[in-house]
Amino acid sequence: MIAGGAGIMLTGLTRTEAQTTAPVAPRAFAGQHQIKPLPFDPARLKGISEKLIRSHHENNYSGAVRALNAVEQRLDAMMKDKDLPAYVYGDLKREELVRTGSVALHEIYFANLGGDGKAAGEALEAIKKSFGSYEQWEAEFKRTGNALSGGSGWVIFALNFHTGELHNYWSWDHMHNAPFSRPLLAMDMYEHAYHMDYGAAAAKYVDAFMQNVNWEEVNHRYTSAQKAATALRE
């Protein structure tokens, strides 16, 4: 008999005791990222269906969180293998970057949806200064999105801390980012973001996206990014 009422004996400890005394992985390898719920009612978006948003959140975003957790824990285990070739480790480090980008950009994306699409506030004033007019900014943001249709990627309107400028950045995948920039508005251009509703007609999704932008959130990001930019210059 190896099993007892208090649990299986593991080198002198019951399983319960072994679990509570097991070493905790350092934070970088903990794999404890939590899935954030949708910050708006998915039934209320204009031109983007609840079914699509729920699928996007539950499969693509939540899947990325689970994968990132698994990758971190696997990295921890692989570091304990002193004979592991570095290039094998490198493959998983690439996955870490892919999943980290996917988690961050999806959380930014969902948080900048659920609004009325009407630009206002300090971000709007900054857009006018940097792009000449709101219409010019929007035309470039949308054109950049349409340039990614049929493929994958993100359009990221960002404050670049290095140059101090606002730009709409083209991003081919979760790992493409303008170095040292804070995303203020992110638009997912992976097919999973629109194909269920629009098929290959990505431009219709881009139009619908603009009608649901949460400018309150964009303004919050812009003002906090400006404070960070000022602090970085000091």
Nearer to Fe ion, 60 or 62 (CB): 60
Nearer to Fe ion, 72 or 188 (CB): 188
Number of residues that bind Fe ion (CB under 5 A): 3
Report in angstroms how near the CB of residue 109 gets to Fe ion at its nearest: 7
Contact flag: residue 146 with Fe ion (CB under 5 A): no
Nearer to Fe ion, 119 or 186 (CB): 186
**185, 157 Cβ separation under 8 angstroms:** yes
Residues 41-70 that bind Fe ion (CB under 5 A): 60
Nearer to Fe ion, 60 or 177 (CB): 60
Report in angstroms how near the CB of residue 189 gets to Fe ion at its nearest: 9
Structure tokens at 47: 């031109």
Contact region for Fe ion (CB under 5 A) — 26-34, 78-86, 173-181, 186-194? Answer: 186-194
**208, 47 Cβ separation under 8 angstroms:** yes
Burial 171-183 (b: 16+ CB within 10 A, else e): bebbeebbeebbb
How many helices (H) and strands (E) would you count in the chain? 9, 6
Q: Dihedrals φ, ψ of 199, to 5°? A: 60, -135
Report in angstroms how near the CB of residue 61 gets to Fe ion at its nearest: 6
Candidates 185, 125, 191; CA nearest to 153 is 191
Report in angstroms how near the CB of residue 121 gets to Fe ion at its nearest: 27
**175, 201 Cβ separation under 8 angstroms:** no
Contact flag: residue 152 with Fe ion (CB under 5 A): no
Report in angstroms how near the CB of residue 207 gets to Fe ion at its nearest: 18
Contact region for Fe ion (CB under 5 A) — 69-77, 180-188, 194-202, 203-211? Answer: 180-188
Residue with tokens 């998915």: 42
Report in angstroms how near the CB of residue 139 gets to Fe ion at its nearest: 24
What whole-number distance in Å separates Cα of residue 155 and Cα of residue 51?
23
Maximum distance among all alpha carbons in the chain?
Answer: 80
H or E element that contains 152:
none
Contact flag: residue 188 with Fe ion (CB under 5 A): yes
Contact set with Fe ion (CB under 5 A): 60, 188, 190
